[in-house]
């Protein structure tokens, strides 16, 4: 499963990219607002940090306007993925862009039927929001399972990009269900490293090594 980080914080992206574990980045208007910087400048900087897809979202809601914004965004770098909402105009834009060879991430997916439409429109990625489903009492991971079955039934190439991830269990469940990508905030990626037994084991190894009085190098 690929790991994308969901942020516009270029310092955090750089730190994670240095681990070799980062396969891409997702952004949205809310994350850009938190960064407090120029949108196009931030996207360009991120595209220079990572080689994988960098999702940059249009803010227009009508097809022609979406296409105009997408034209600006895809000129930034070859690894830009245009992010569009799961609306009729968004899917019209998706079909046009992917037909031209541009990566498209269809976002704000909340049903398997919506995911089916996105795949038929040629989406590179579909972004179902599991955390927001959990927030309203619906098990978000059931949505991932349903989409996986449908995509496998028809051999769709669209990658399932699990979004709105809140904690490591979401990541584990996504991997068990066969999701292609998990996008998550930097803190969730860092939580994946943590286990108290790892910490205790390392402390014990270091304590025993200190007793030897030796050094390496």
- Catalytic residue annotation: 83
Element (H, E) at 195: none
Give strand ranges (E) for the chain: 2-6, 24-26, 54-57, 80-85, 103-109, 125-128, 159-162, 181-184
How far apart CA 200 and CA 46 sit, in angstroms, is 36
Give start and end residues of each alpha helix (H) in the chain: 10-17, 29-35, 39-49, 63-74, 88-99, 112-120, 130-135, 140-154, 168-176, 186-191, 196-212
Which neighbouring-strand residues pair with 125? 105, 159
For residue 60, give the nearest of 50, 71, 49, 52 by alpha carbon. 71
The answer to whether 30 and 7 are in contact (CB under 8 A) is no
For residue 1, give the nearest of 195, 201, 192, 216 by alpha carbon. 192
For residue 151, give the nearest of 177, 115, 114, 102 by alpha carbon. 115
Structure token digits, residue 26: 């997702």
Other beta carbons within 10 Å of 12: 17
């Amino acid at each position: 499963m690929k790991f994308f980080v969901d942020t516009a914080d270029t310092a955090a992206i750089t730190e994670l990219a240095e681990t070799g574990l980062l396969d891409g980045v997702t952004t949205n208007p809310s994350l850009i607002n938190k960064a407090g910087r120029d949108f196009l400048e931030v996207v360009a900087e991120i595209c220079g940090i990572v080689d994988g897809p960098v999702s940059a979202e249009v803010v227009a809601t009508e097809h022609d306007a979406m296409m105009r914004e997408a034209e600006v965004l895809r000129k930034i770098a070859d690894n830009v993925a245009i992010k569009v909402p799961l609306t009729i105009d968004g899917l019209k834009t998706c079909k046009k862009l992917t037909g031209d060879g541009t990566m498209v991430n269809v976002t704000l997916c909340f049903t398997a039927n919506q995911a089916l439409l996105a795949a038929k429109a040629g989406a590179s990625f579909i972004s179902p929001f599991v955390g927001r489903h959990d927030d309203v009492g619906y098990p978000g991971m059931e949505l991932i399972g349903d989409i996986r079955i449908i995509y496998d039934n028809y051999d769709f190439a669209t990658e399932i990009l699990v979004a709105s991830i809140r904690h490591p269990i979401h990541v584990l469940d996504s991997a068990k269900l066969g999701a292609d990508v998990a996008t998550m905030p930097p803190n969730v990626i860092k939580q994946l490293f943590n286990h108290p037994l790892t910490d205790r084991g390392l402390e014990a190894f270091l304590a025993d090594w200190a007793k030897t009085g030796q050094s390496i190098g």
